[in-house]
Chain A
Amino acid sequence: MSTLATTTTEGPRLDRVTPAVEVRDLRKTFRRRDRSAGRFARKRPWPALADVTFTIARGECVAILGQNGSGKSTLVRLLSTLLIDDGGEARIFGHDVVKEARAIRRLVNRVSVEASFFKKMSAAENLSYAARFYGMSPRRTRTAIPEILARVGFPPERRDEAMENLSRGMQQKVALARALLTSPVLLLLDEPTTGLDPRSKLEVQDFIRQVRLEHDATILLCTHDMGEAEQLADRVGLLDRGRLLFLEPVADVKRRFGVDTLEEAFFVATGREFENEATEDDEYREVFG
């Protein structure tokens, strides 16, 4: 992808042998109040991630499936240096996420379920200041921003419109553009298509495929959409109540559990139906509860 190649910042040299992501016995526990025990009940430890171990090779696309509250967002935030773990370790291209956070920040970018922007500012303005944080000068962003917005299918005539006037799908395209503008070698996608209309969803999924084909990026996709995971990823993992139950190619998962679909595999692995718990969008709501 020419646009991305030309926007690459002078970053650390990465060898092809070191795994993109190495996670070993990673633990994170929050404290949450047990609602059933009443309003004034004491907060209790609640493991968001329990001894999670996996590796992602460079250039690979791995999907982590899980229901809401399963620990997907916690995993993405830990890898984004936004959380500090309670045990175990996580490395990105050999760098420890806690001790070498600065080195990692140049390599990683992220798209989350909420397209988070300054809503009064336009798409171009939001991308412009965000790119500066990664050392991109105005001379570079003058050409790079229109190019990247064109690539994600964002209409040029709406570039200067306030974000609050854009649809959810449009905002998510700008979020993708923001992540790719800085040419990350590891792209963390946390429910990137949740809440999008079917057309926008397909467009975003097509773009993820394109990024994989044309840009040398490793992708970690966290989703509760099993179809999306099956279509986009080389390997699929299942995170359930903070535990990673498996991480294998889809065909191997189906063979192992003797089933035809990932939904059935989930049922066999956990003894429960795979449902979306619409009341809590992720485990963090509990932290503020």
Chain B
Amino acid sequence: MSEFAVEMRNQLVGLAGIVERNVYLTKRYILWDAAFMIWTIANTLTIVFIARAAHLSPALENTLATQLLVGATIWAFLGIIFEFMTETVAWERWEGTIEYTFMAPLSRVVHLFGQGAFAVLYGLIRASILFFAVAAFIGIHAPQANYGAALALLALGSLSFIGVGIMTSVLPLISPEKGAQLGFVAQGIMLVVSGVYYRVDVMPEWMQWIAKISPATYVLRGDRASVISGTGIAWADVWPLLIIAVLATPIGLAVFRVGERYAKKHGKLKRSG
């Protein structure tokens, strides 16, 4: 086998190692995850019940409830992605394994994408459970829903979310104490400008401009259309997501590289748990 082939094989095995580790951890914390799932469902219900309180006709109420549910589900999905990406550094620092991971011959791209790949898989499972549990509880009817298209668009948007997540994952490298929380600030801002529970055109114009560069805008718009009207994947949602993914990933990796260098220069890779 050529040197390049050996290296590629080793990197793929390393990527599997990242996923394997997260599977072990998910198994160990499964009860905590179940408790967190209950909290997420309760939180989502508080949002979706707003549709009931609006006293609309049954059809409009159903549409509004579905719109809110899609927004809350994508909020939860994005929350998982950002949490996993931010914990790439924060959790390992707490456990003390960070130095061993950073001194391993695993490329940083593979390391971060392994973490992102698991986050997307895990996030999709949780988002699906959340969506169907709340839909069943409220009694939402979506006879025309095209769930395949909605999931496919979410998966496509995930490439951009991972790119942005990589940018936020650098924050705990710079500030071990407060960096992780800043990841949630990024998540909140992204969803606010993307029209998480409302149409983008209700926002001030300057926010609408920011919405254009947020991948969540196109995922929310496309997924709502797929679930409510059964629309398939629209090219108008796909091409911006592709462009953002192509740009976000290298920018995210470049930002992480700068953060890693800063941490190595100032001795901040040290454990803090």
**Once the chains are docked, how many angstroms separate the CA of A130 from the CA of B268?**
22
How many chain B residues touch A (CB < 8 A): the figure is 39
B6 in contact with A10 (CB, 8 Å): yes
Question: What 1/0 flags go to B11-26 for Cβ under 8 Å of A?
Answer: 1011011101100110
Q: Does B134 contact A (CB under 8 A)?
A: no
A83 in contact with B264 (CB, 8 Å): yes
Contact A118-B95, Cβ < 8 Å, known A10-B6, A83-B264: yes
Measured CB to CB, the closest approach of chain B to A43, in angstroms, equals 11
A105 in contact with B105 (CB, 8 Å): yes
- By a CB distance below 8 angstroms, the chain A residues around B103 are 80-82, 105, 108-110
Binds B, one of A15-23, A121-129, A199-207, A245-253: A121-129
Measured CB to CB, the closest approach of chain A to B106, in angstroms, equals 5
Q: Does A151 contact B (CB under 8 A)?
A: no
**Once the chains are docked, how many angstroms separate the CA of A114 from the CA of B266?**
21
Measured CB to CB, the closest approach of chain B to A199, in angstroms, equals 24
Binds B, one of A133-141, A216-224, A225-233: A133-141
A133 in contact with B97 (CB, 8 Å): no
A116 in contact with B97 (CB, 8 Å): yes
B24 in contact with A125 (CB, 8 Å): yes
Measured CB to CB, the closest approach of chain B to A111, in angstroms, equals 10
- By a CB distance below 8 angstroms, the chain A residues around B97 are 116-118
**Once the chains are docked, how many angstroms separate the CA of A136 from the CA of B272?**
29
- By a CB distance below 8 angstroms, the chain A residues around B53 are none
B265 in contact with A136 (CB, 8 Å): no
A133 in contact with B95 (CB, 8 Å): no
A120 in contact with B25 (CB, 8 Å): yes
Contact A82-B95, Cβ < 8 Å, known A121-B25, A128-B20, A135-B14: no
Instruction: List the A residue with the shortest CB-CB distance to B16.
Output: A132
Q: Does A7 contact B (CB under 8 A)?
A: no
Q: Does B257 contact A (CB under 8 A)?
A: no
Instruction: List the B residue with the shortest CB-CB distance to A105.
Output: B105
Q: Does B102 contact A (CB under 8 A)?
A: yes
**Once the chains are docked, how many angstroms separate the CA of A172 from the CA of B100?**
14
Q: Which residues of B251-273 are within 8 A (CB) of A? A: 261, 264-272
| Chain A to chain B contacts (Cβ below 8 Å), 19 pairs | A10-B1, A77-B99, A82-B264, A82-B269, A102-B107, A110-B100, A114-B96, A116-B95, A118-B24, A120-B29, A121-B21, A128-B17, A129-B21, A129-B24, A130-B100, A132-B17, A132-B20, A133-B106, A287-B270
Question: A108-B103, A133-B14 provided; 14 other pairs, C-beta below 8 A?
Answer: A81-B103, A82-B99, A84-B265, A110-B100, A114-B96, A116-B96, A116-B97, A117-B97, A118-B97, A133-B17, A135-B9, A137-B13, A162-B28, A287-B267
